[in-house]
Amino acid sequence: METQAPRSRRLTIAAEDGRVSGPEDVPSDAPLALRGLTVSYSEKPAVFSVDATFPANSMSTIIGPNGAGKSTLLKAALGVIPRLSGEVFVFGSPIENARNRIAYVPQRASVDWDFPATVMDVVQMGLYRKVGLLGRLSGQLTTRAQDCLDRVGMADFSHRQIGQLSGGQQQRVFLARALAQDADLYLLDEPFAGVDAATERAIIDVLKLLKSGGKAVVAVHHDLSTVREYFDHVFMINVRRIAEGTVNTCLTTKNLQATYGGRLAAAHLAQLAVVEGAG
């Protein structure tokens, strides 16, 4: 009976001709596209069946409440944590073939800053994919690493032990390491968490320069009051995808309520209103 199911016009839920297409369907060549991404810790989805497309030549942000799966989404996209299902495309190809086009800034708190290394050591790690296991770190590459430090305002710190850095300086070093990767897509996990105002300014300046240089930036962010100012594309998540689009179309009361829940959203809305009123 099943094989003879009539292709009734009334059945609006299936595709037009009832066909379910196979895995040959590949999405656009956007810098980062996620299809049906599901990640779970034990038996509870942290991210459920998320489709997302982050456009080229823009600054995108992933926002949502605590525990909504923002960082999980980013890490699963990168393959840092395993995904239960779903696919990740970077510039239209599977991520394994595009790793050299991605730069990554992990959460600052995810590493042990007591590790015996200097600032320069850390920045050079961004070159490891390029130089491989035994390739020589030429003077040119060392200069490039130094340049990256310069771009984040840390040129004088290259020989400093990383344990002696402040939180903001640590974040700058991580950004310099990503710059050294010289990628086309920059993924940042909470780059502004716990940093001072000057650092936040410096980081956003660097990111905006990247964007004007034709790169794509995707950052997990938690401060709604600066979303409008910093980003042009928003992806809102609370385990499931809530909304996706430009800042102006997305940051609506309805979407914020759907993402953060009623009372919290009201607080955030008030925050946004203040920013708008001031600006």
Which amino acid, 267?
Answer: A
Decide whether 99 or 232 has the Cβ nearer to another protein. Answer: 99
Q: Does 158 help bind another protein (rule: CB under 8 A)?
A: no
Least distance to another protein, CB of residue 32, Å: 13
Least distance to another protein, CB of residue 113, Å: 5
Decide whether 99 or 228 has the Cβ nearer to another protein. Answer: 99
Nearest to 255 by CA among 47, 240, 34, 50: 240
The residue within the footprint of another protein, chosen from 30, 32, 33, 78 (CB under 8 A), is 78
Q: Does 11 help bind another protein (rule: CB under 8 A)?
A: yes
Residue with tokens 């840390």: 154
For residues 230 to 249, the per-residue mask of contacts with another protein, x marking binding by CB under 8 A and - elsewhere, is --------xxx---------
Q: How far apart are alpha carbons 174 and 170 in whole angstroms?
A: 6
Decide whether 59 or 165 has the Cβ nearer to another protein. Answer: 165
Are 31 and 55 in contact, with CB atoms under 8 Å apart?
yes
Are 68 and 44 in contact, with CB atoms under 8 Å apart?
no
- Contact stretch for another protein (CB under 8 A) within 55-63, 100-108, 138-146, 213-221: 100-108
- Long-range CB contacts for residues 135-139, cutoff 8 Å, separation at least 24: none
Q: How far apart are alpha carbons 207 and 199 in whole angstroms?
A: 12
Which amino acid, 224?
Answer: L
For residues 104 to 143, the per-residue mask of contacts with another protein, x marking binding by CB under 8 A and - elsewhere, is x-x---xxxxxxxxx--xx--x--xx-x-xx---------
Q: Does 41 help bind another protein (rule: CB under 8 A)?
A: no
Decide whether 1 or 278 has the Cβ nearer to another protein. Answer: 1
194-233 residues in contact with another protein (CB under 8 A) are: 194, 196, 198
| Residue 104 CA, distance from chain mean position | 8
Q: Does 53 help bind another protein (rule: CB under 8 A)?
A: no
Decide whether 105 or 227 has the Cβ nearer to another protein. Answer: 105
The residue within the footprint of another protein, chosen from 58, 92, 99, 226 (CB under 8 A), is 99
Q: Does 38 help bind another protein (rule: CB under 8 A)?
A: yes
Are 162 and 113 in contact, with CB atoms under 8 Å apart?
yes
Angstrom distances, CA of residue 84 to CA of 14, 33, 47, 214: 25, 17, 10, 33
Q: How far apart are alpha carbons 7 and 4 in whole angstroms?
A: 9
Q: Does 43 help bind another protein (rule: CB under 8 A)?
A: yes
Q: How far apart are alpha carbons 207 and 192 in whole angstroms?
A: 12
